[in-house]
Structure 1
């Protein structure tokens, strides 16, 4: 059975995919980055990590395999256990496990499992079609200033000729210009005052006419417009932070009540295709809000949760 194929399918929708008895593959959203001198652009993506300490069966992988291969839930668990035993035996022999589109797991010199994620695939659905690309490094040329050599020549000085003409008539021209300038300034002042007076008179007449029309107006509407009732559409919250999934609806309701008592806006979601009833810590408008609560639960209370997207 190609177990890595089913794990890869679930990583598109869920933040945590647990392989019972082996470990969990976790995904975390990473923003777009630009790195390197050649400006390598990497789009937003999900970074995959592996935690060998999370081994409890949450039913997600087994239910997915049972539905995909049309087998029972119990048989799906048996097939998972068989594959897990093969993986563990390979790691004990210090062989490398290659999981297609997920990554590689091998044993280091201290006998610890090391996970190397694959860079060939992006599990963030919102980044579909965005590929990484590299822009060439911009090379700037240094311009050298070349010294220019100029021939130094002696300056040529022009001596003005002495004029013996009489320019006494210029003082009379200046007096005449001053006289006309003063006359024009006085005329402009009188003209501006007359325009301001006329404008004020027109504004007063317009204001009186407006007041007269307001006094004569009536404010009764014979046929008022009927009241329009608008239906308020509930805001969509497609991102659910799942606390657990239950086969019994009563157990799901108990879990929801317990989370509400703890201060969470918990809710019971609709039964999924595997016959399980998910219970969410809360539902959010954006993935960033859900990721924030998920990280807070993990850091402060060491609680594992996963994200369900409608």
Structure 2
């Protein structure tokens, strides 16, 4: 049993994952930050820690293993207990325990477990797809020197009075700002106008369609046979995940259950852990996906989450 795989899966959704009889892995959200010397921007993330004192069984890990492996809860608890005994024996012998995507565990001279978290993975789903980047330092003095060099070679004569009066620079900067603000306002107004126009046109088209349907109801004497409609295949890179399953037949069952509830559920393949992922639906843009995610969390599944992934 790959215990670290199950712990890693749960850390995406929960802030505390307890391994009964061993300890708890905790996550703490930290905000985005900028390194002052390297000018590197880091996205928000969850940092990992380990607390040896929190070792009482809360049922989370055992229930998850029982669900994934389709075994009784008691059997899952026994498997965890055997794995913990093995881990502790290795630690006592002075070995380092490596949990993939989680970190390293080692026993110190006082018999306490030391934890060194891994940094290659971010368990904060809100920051999915974000990575750190470095920006070059802005050196304004360079531009001042460049302006001075241009002025020295320009054929226009600058008198001392004009050189000492920088009001024209202030006026120019103010004009640029005003033009930028007016352009932004005009663009916003244009976009809002287009959106209102499209909405109005859609409402008018719907009214015309309703009128034609009512007219056709009275004119056509013989009912037409039922038409077979083909549903377009879902597309988009924003997916609301319902769950991931080790056994593919369980993922098929989940898709059927969600479709029975009216969702456009489907499978989108396997993740890096070999689990079959099932989604409620897929969307072209993030805003629509986020709205549907809030609705699903409040009405059906509070553990649903948004996956941004380009499908082949």
TMscore range, shorter length? 0.3 to 0.5
The TM-score normalised by the length of structure 1 is 0.45
More helix by share: 2
Which is bigger in relative contact order (C-alpha 8 A, separation at least 6)? Answer: 1
